Amino acid sequence: MMKKMKRILSIAMILVLTVSLAACGKKQEEAAKPLEGSEITFMIPEWGVPSQEMLDEFTAETGITVNVETVAWDDIRDKIAVAAAGKKAPADVIEVDWSWVGEFSSAGWLEPITLTQEDIDDIPSLSSFTVDGKILGIPYANDFRIGYYNTEIYEKAGLTEPKTWDDVAAQMKAIKDQNLLANPYTLPLTAGEGTTTSMIWLTYLRDGKVFNDDNTLNKENVMKTLEFVDSMIKQGLINPVNTTTKDIDTYRQLTNGEAAFMVGPTSFVGRANDEKESKVVGKIMPIVPPGGTEKATQTMALVEGIGVTKYSENKEAAEVFVKWYTSKQMQAKMYDEQSAIPTRTTVLKELIDTGKMKNTGAMLETSKLIQSPFPTGVPKYYAEMSSAIYNAVNKMALGQLTPEQAFEEMNAKVTSLAKQ
């Protein structure tokens, strides 16, 4: 009888223990998914859309559902501005281009995001998204400026990798003089954003300082860049059609075999080796860009990021998503699925080391040189400043202004904006 009672008691205890453990597990699971049932919207251009499988994984992991709105990059800024004018959030999580950070920060449209020091150190381009110590967005797709040269043309011309911009000028002239290419150097010169960034990074790579501490243009350095560009145009080393060609088409002159050297987007590491896009597969070498007196010691990133909107009603869930989307694991997956170049140095290194990313040349080395050319962060008047810069450079390229006049035109506007 006692034996039977003991057995019954043991079974009862086991049952109680099992039920308690199950309940405890359930509670722990609930605690692990505090945002279960939350729903957020994510506005992103086509190239940043995660696959449904990834989104399902995120939902299973966090209990948060994500509704993706695919919007053209050009339209996103307008949508954000119009929604913000009505104090509404166009989406909980939005695309934030590096060039929008200043104005979005000034308008107060983005919520600060907290990151660990390890994450901060792993993403060098985060500096473009940091204003007054606050992280307003996390870059998810990398695009920093890197040098490229055509090894075949260089060999034919008897040249070696350029170290300085003076080397580039001399080499381009040599290639043209030997009739190897009509316009061996390529650079955007159209009246568009690509020309402004080219102007900024060219000065940055060459002489370091583009803007003075009061955000006005550094005359000495910017003038050197303008004179360099003007000289390249006048010698016919740059194709004159660049004054009206889209910047991506300008860069394609390298992969079409029409140009021998350029500093351009990192996406051309992949494009140069893609037979569908390149006529010079295996002949393009990515290098650390040239500098003023030696190789550049800094480069500029033009990265895409995502951030949480101020008017979002699900800020917590939105932040969880932003961190997940820019995590190491996701960056590796996004490279596999969308060829998005990781912004995390560790992921980039892993892709190169494992051979997933091929013919990368000095890509990893250059990625470690990323810094922001803006001493006080991207200014809130970036769009107005950019318009003044690209219009002045475009007019100079068309022969309507001298480098000095182009500088005066852009400087008058930039100085007036900086003083406002």
Partner 1 sequence: MQRDVQKALGFLMPMAIIMLGLVFYPIIRTFIFSLQRYKLTEPDKVGFIGFENYAAVLRSPAFHYAIVNTLLIMGIVLIVGLFSSIVVALILYGKTRLSGLLTAVAVIPWALPPVVNGVVWKFIFYPGQGFLNKLLYNLDLIDEPVRWLNTRFGTLLIVGLIVAWRTIPFCAIVFLANMQSIPQEVYDAAKVDGANSRKTFLYITMPHLMPSVAIALTNLTMSSINVFDEIAALVGFRNMGQPLLIYNYTETFSFMNFGYGSAITYIIMIASGVFGYFYIRSLHFGGGKS
CA 133 to chain centre: 20
Examine residue 239 and tell whether it contacts partner 1 (CB under 8 A): yes
Exposure string of 231-259, with b = 16+ CB inside 10 Å and e = fewer, is ebbeeebbbeebbebebeebbbbbbebbb
The region of 120-128, 198-206, 233-241, 296-304 touching partner 1 under the rule CB under 8 A is 233-241
- 115: its two tokens: 């990151």
Q: How far apart are CA 95 and CA 72, in angstroms?
A: 10
Binding positions for partner 1, 314-373, rule CB under 8 A: none
The region of 122-130, 131-139, 187-195, 328-336 touching partner 1 under the rule CB under 8 A is 187-195
Residue among 59, 218, 244, 298 that touches partner 1 (CB under 8 A): 244
Question: Residue 286: CB partners within 8 Å, gap ≥ 6?
Answer: 146, 147, 148, 268, 269, 272, 359, 360, 361, 362, 363, 366
Q: How far is CA 133 from CA 94, 180, 376, 384, 395, in A?
A: 21, 50, 11, 25, 38
Query: What binding mask, one character per residue, do residues 386-405 give for partner 1 by CB under 8 A, x or -?
Result: -x---x--xx--x-------
CA 121 to chain centre: 16
Query: How near is the Cβ of 74 to partner 1 at its closest, in Å?
Result: 10
Q: Around Cβ 47, how many Cβ atoms within 10 Å?
A: 15
Our CB check for partner 1 shows the closer of 41 and 394 to be: 394
Examine residue 252 and tell whether it contacts partner 1 (CB under 8 A): no
Binding positions for partner 1, 99-138, rule CB under 8 A: 103, 106-108
DSSP 192: S
Residue among 99, 190, 196, 345 that touches partner 1 (CB under 8 A): 190
Whether 111 and 312 have beta carbons less than 8 Å apart is answered as yes
Our CB check for partner 1 shows the closer of 106 and 339 to be: 106
Examine residue 241 and tell whether it contacts partner 1 (CB under 8 A): yes
Which helix (H) or strand (E) segment holds residue 253: the answer is: helix 247-255
- Return the SS3 of 372: coil
Our CB check for partner 1 shows the closer of 348 and 378 to be: 378
Query: How near is the Cβ of 245 to partner 1 at its closest, in Å?
Result: 6
DSSP 191: S
Dihedral angle at the C-alpha atoms of 335, 341, 347, 353, nearest 10 degrees?
Answer: 90
Examine residue 376 and tell whether it contacts partner 1 (CB under 8 A): no
Query: How near is the Cβ of 181 to partner 1 at its closest, in Å?
Result: 15
Query: How near is the Cβ of 405 to partner 1 at its closest, in Å?
Result: 14
Examine residue 240 and tell whether it contacts partner 1 (CB under 8 A): yes
Query: How near is the Cβ of 158 to partner 1 at its closest, in Å?
Result: 28
Q: How far apart are CA 319 and CA 389, in angstroms?
A: 35
Residue among 383, 405, 415, 418 that touches partner 1 (CB under 8 A): 383
The region of 20-28, 76-84, 317-325, 347-355 touching partner 1 under the rule CB under 8 A is 76-84
Query: How near is the Cβ of 125 to partner 1 at its closest, in Å?
Result: 23
Query: How near is the Cβ of 387 to partner 1 at its closest, in Å?
Result: 7
Which residues would be at the binding site for partner 1 (CB under 8 A)?
78, 81, 84-85, 103, 106-108, 190-192, 239-241, 243-245, 380-381, 383-384, 387, 391, 394-395, 398
